[in-house]
Chain A
Amino acid sequence: EDQVTQSPEALRLQEGESSSLNCSYTVSGLRGLFWYRQDPGKGPEFLFTLYSAGEEKEKERLKATLTKKESFLHITAPKPEDSATYLCAVQAGGYQKVTFGTGTKLQVIP
């Protein structure tokens, strides 16, 4: 069965203090790994899709990377508006179902 583990569960950063969130996965035949941001009481907002080991994608202060076993979401010089829960999800070959991790709740303090 596909498994996705995110760490840490919660992260508190000072504004400007860079850090990384981890997503470890165990799937048979990874077809796509997705990163989402979710604000309280709202739907997840799509950030990135990564397809193969070595791939990297960037958007503003966020950079996502992928290896054969894990993905990292690097946050450079975060701002308070980056505070949210970040969800990782994986899709294995031949399936429509996406398996979500439990998320990392990020709080950025001014």
Chain B
Amino acid sequence: DTEVTQTPKHLVMGMTNKKSLKCEQHMGHRAMYWYKQKAKKPPELMFVYSYEKLSINESVPSRFSPECPNSSLLNLHLHALQPEDSALYLCASSRQPGDNYEQYFGPGTRLTVT
């Protein structure tokens, strides 16, 4: 089983709202990732968690706040977003951090900021 689940599938939020995206995997993977993907562009890395610790933050604005409560769960907390943050947010996981391990992606959350 190589399934990564994400909720919700769609989210519409105003610029003053606070919301959270959730990602879950039960493959025993110890690295988890958040990506942002705009239309007709490749996924763009935001954060990497290795063994539940934040290891990479690609200079993402503080209005995006990641959290990894345990090895199976990854959250992305959203606050005071801008319309340009509207995108498909993808979660991925890999067996280990580091080299050679392919990432398995979830179906994504389509976020619209109004």
**Which of A44, A91, A97, A103 is close to B105, meaning CB atoms less than 8 Å apart?**
A44
Q: Is A45 in the interface zone, CB < 8 Å from B?
A: yes
Q: Is B81 in the interface zone, CB < 8 Å from A?
A: no
Q: Is A78 in the interface zone, CB < 8 Å from B?
A: no
In the bound complex, what is the Cα–Cα distance between A31 and B2 (angstroms)?
Answer: 22
**Which of A49, A96, A97, A100 is close to B42, meaning CB atoms less than 8 Å apart?**
A100
Q: Which of A44, A93, A94 has the most CB of B within 10 A?
A: A44
Contact check, B56 vs A45: say whether CB atoms are below 8 A apart. no
Size class of the A contact interface (CB-based, 8 Å): 20 to 34
Task: Say which one of B13-21, B60-68, B69-77, B106-114 lies at the interface with A.
Answer: B106-114
Interface size for B (C-beta < 8 A) is: 29
Q: Is B82 in the interface zone, CB < 8 Å from A?
A: no
Residues on B with beta carbons closer than 8 Å to the beta carbon of A94: 98-99
> B-contacting residues of A (Cβ < 8 Å)?
31-32, 34, 36, 41-46, 49, 51, 87, 89, 91, 93-98, 100-103
Least Cβ–Cβ distance between A7 and chain B, in angstroms: 14
Residues on B with beta carbons closer than 8 Å to the beta carbon of A95: 99
